[in-house]
């Protein structure tokens, strides 16, 4: 077995036993990236040589007695909307094609403190607006399970890189499902942490009241390792929680006995593929057999979530992206004869259609005479959605839903566009509105393509999510089905 086929915790064990070196690890993943990247499109910037030099220095330090962390020498990729000092951060947009931050995001600093090795910046839907990986201004990303299908988005490169064996771990960001949905479509574990658990300092802001950085990994234990490294209070983020971070590894138990699990019937409606339903029901059966109490419940305001998300989200987007004007930030049209024309051309040429549509919607919703009717009403709907979660999680330890109503669909599928594309996040958006943690776990294959089940928990109760996910992972045994050799 090649090193790139191993998980981060397996690599750590071999490194601790001195059976491999950091150079061995980095060389294996670097070769894998060089072999597969032309077809996959996961990376926007690849740091192969820099990573190799860092690996050599780490090996010297380890030989000199440097203590290992759980992530020492482990290659990690960073979604390209997370700032990296001295390294381009483009958000996969022409607008920021030449933007080089002067500081690292807090999560990047934390990974560096763990002696992980940053292999590069990963592709995404432009400014994190999209659910397919096709809306990057640079190139589309493809699904390693089937190169003719989408990997999901917006953390498309993060998911494709980990699923294909280019990386053992990656960071994504999740505003309405952008970690969990590609995790489901690519057969990975992907977590949206509780809002405030992970610092957003250095994450390029779009929808600040909902977005968070989250890990993508091949199994639950690796997801735990990455969250452990990046979680915790950050004084540079005013929304950062001051609660102590528990040892998440202590939650990895195969016992689900006594857990109370709610199954919201509203998540099993129109648009859910039959194969997805079958696999989710199998998960529920496994939980019951393990001693969990599983019960159907109702969360009546689920149908409000999509409308609330887009009214609130686009309004925040229009405000946050106002700085992308060719003056303060980003691409500037140099041929304009006056200031207004410069603004119009710079934004029109520098931003893609999906970004422009959301920005215009946000301007409309927040405009004179419409703010109360749209944005404020969206906030009220958000409160109703959150109250549904509060009521459900007061009685149940976990909620179980599909992650995506569909398995990965074909690239350039004209049937999945407009409102249909927006509805692909219908199962993931409510957790962002409520700020609760949610994890996507691969639960089987449908037609040879991965399907994910979503586990939603109480705020800051990631340990219970990990407990159930780890127990299910042992029984589902999904990791054996990885597409590690399918990308030539």
> Tokens 């994910």 label which residue?
452
- Distance of alpha carbon 272 from its chain centroid, rounded? 22
Task: Please name the helix (run of DSSP H) or strand (run of DSSP E) that holds residue 451, with its range, or none.
Answer: strand 449-457
- The pLDDT, as a whole number, for residue 179 is 98
Average pLDDT over residues 75-98: 98
Token digits of residue 408 = 């990965």
Average pLDDT over residues 159-171: 97
Sequence-separated (6 or more) residues with CB below 8 Å from residue 450: 145, 184, 185, 186, 187, 407, 408, 442, 444, 478
Backbone φ and ψ of 279, nearest 5°: -70, -35
- The pLDDT, as a whole number, for residue 238 is 97
Average pLDDT over residues 10-31: 98
Q: How many residues does the chain have?
A: 488
The answer on pLDDT for 485 being more than 70 is no
- Distance of alpha carbon 357 from its chain centroid, rounded? 23
Contact by Cβ (8 Å): 353, 118: no
Token digits of residue 210 = 């909902």
pLDDT per position as a tens digit, 398-410: 999 999 999 999 9
Sequence-separated (6 or more) residues with CB below 8 Å from residue 477: none
- The pLDDT, as a whole number, for residue 480 is 57
The answer on pLDDT for 106 being more than 70 is yes
Three-state SS at 192:
strand
In angstroms and rounded to an integer, the radius of gyration of the C-alpha atoms of the chain is: 21
pLDDT per position as a tens digit, 286-329: 999 999 999 999 999 999 999 999 999 999 999 999 999 998 78
CA angle (458 as vertex; 193, 421 as ends), nearest 5: 55
pLDDT per position as a tens digit, 345-372: 999 999 999 999 999 999 999 999 899 9
For residue 58, give Cα distances in angstroms to 11, 15, 69, 74, 385: 15, 12, 12, 11, 48
Q: Which domains does the chain have, with CATH numbers?
A: 3-259+464-481 (3.90.1300.10)
The answer on pLDDT for 108 being more than 80 is yes
Average pLDDT over residues 45-70: 98
- Burial class of residue 49 (count of CB atoms within 10 Å of its CB; 0-12, 13-18, 19+): exposed
Annotated active-site positions, please?
A: 79, 154, 178
Three-state SS at 357:
helix
Sign of CA dihedral 353, 354, 357, 363: negative
- The pLDDT, as a whole number, for residue 479 is 61
- The pLDDT, as a whole number, for residue 424 is 73
Q: Is the peptide bond before 462 cis (omega within 30 degrees of 0)?
A: no
Three-state SS at 386:
helix
Q: What value does the mean pLDDT of the chain take? A: 95
Of the ranges 164-173, 375-384, 414-423, 467-476, which one carries the lowest mean pLDDT score?
A: 414-423
pLDDT per position as a tens digit, 185-225: 999 999 999 999 999 999 999 999 999 999 999 999 999 99
Whole-model pTM: value is 0.96
Contact by Cβ (8 Å): 162, 188: yes
Alpha-carbon gap, residue 120 to 96, rounded angstroms: 17
Contact by Cβ (8 Å): 406, 456: no
pLDDT per position as a tens digit, 434-466: 999 999 999 999 999 999 999 999 999 999 999
- The pLDDT, as a whole number, for residue 477 is 82
Contact by Cβ (8 Å): 455, 437: no
Please, which pLDDT band fits residue 481 given cuts at 50, 70 and 90? low
The answer on pLDDT for 226 being more than 60 is yes
CA angle (161 as vertex; 159, 163 as ends), nearest 5: 65
Alpha-carbon gap, residue 106 to 33, rounded angstroms: 26
Alpha-carbon gap, residue 215 to 298, rounded angstroms: 30
> Tokens 């910037």 label which residue?
45
């Amino acid at each position: 077995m090649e090193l790139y086929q191993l998980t981060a915790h397996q690599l750590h064990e071999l490194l601790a036993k001195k059976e491999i070196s950091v150079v061995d690890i980095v060389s294996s993943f670097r070769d894998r990236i060089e072999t597969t990247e032309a077809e996959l499109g996961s990376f926007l910037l690849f740091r192969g040589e820099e990573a190799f030099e860092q690996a050599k220095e780490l090996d010297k330090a380890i030989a000199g007695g440097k203590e290992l962390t759980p992530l020492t020498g482990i290659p990690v990729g960073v979604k390209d909307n997370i700032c990296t000092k001295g390294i381009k951060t483009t958000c996969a947009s022409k607008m920021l094609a030449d933007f080089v931050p002067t500081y690292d995001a807090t999560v990047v600093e934390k990974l560096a403190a763990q002696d992980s090795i940053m292999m590069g910046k990963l592709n995404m839907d432009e400014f994190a607006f999209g659910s397919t990986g096709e809306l990057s201004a640079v190139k589309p990303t493809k699904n390693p399970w089937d190169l003719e299908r989408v990997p999901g988005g917006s953390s498309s490169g993060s998911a494709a890189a980990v699923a294909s064996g280019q990386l053992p771990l990656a960071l994504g960001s999740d505003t309405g499902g952008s970690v969990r949905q590609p995790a489901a479509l690519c057969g990975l574990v992907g977590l949206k942490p509780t809002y405030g658990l992970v610092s957003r300092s250095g994450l390029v802001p779009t929808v600040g009241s909902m977005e968070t950085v989250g890990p993508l990994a091949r199994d639950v234990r690796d997801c735990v390792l990455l969250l452990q490294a990046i979680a915790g209070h950050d004084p540079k983020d005013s929304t950062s929680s001051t609660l102590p971070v528990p040892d998440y590894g202590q939650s990895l138990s195969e016992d689900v006995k006594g857990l109370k699990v709610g199954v919201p019937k509203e998540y099993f409606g129109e648009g859910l593929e039959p194969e997805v339903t079958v696999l989710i029901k199998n998960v529920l059966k496994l939980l019951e057999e393990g001693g969990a109490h599983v019960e159907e419940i109702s969360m009546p305001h689920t149908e409000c979530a999509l409308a609330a998300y887009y009214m609130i989200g686009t309004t925040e987007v229009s405000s946050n992206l106002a700085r992308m004007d060719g003056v303060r930030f980003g691409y500037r049209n140099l041929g304009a004869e006056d200031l207004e024309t410069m603004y119009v051309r710079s934004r029109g040429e520098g931003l893609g259609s999906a970004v422009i549509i959301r920005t215009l919607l946000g301007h409309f919703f927040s405009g004179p005479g419409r703010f109360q009717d749209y944005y404020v009403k969206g906030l009220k709907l958000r409160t109703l959605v959150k109250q549904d979660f509060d009521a459900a999680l007061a009685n149940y330890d976990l909620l179980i839903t599909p992650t995506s109503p569909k398995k990965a669909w074909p690239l350039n599928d004209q049937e999945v566009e407009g409102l249909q594309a927006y509805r692909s996040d219908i199962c993931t958006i409510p957790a962002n509105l409520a700020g609760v943690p949610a994890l996507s776990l691969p639960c089987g294959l449908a037609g040879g393509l991965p399907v994910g089940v979503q586990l939603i928990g109480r705020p800051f109760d990631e340990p219970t999510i990990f407990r159930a996910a780890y127990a299910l992972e042992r029984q589902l045994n999904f990791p054996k089905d990885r597409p590690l050799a399918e990308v030539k």
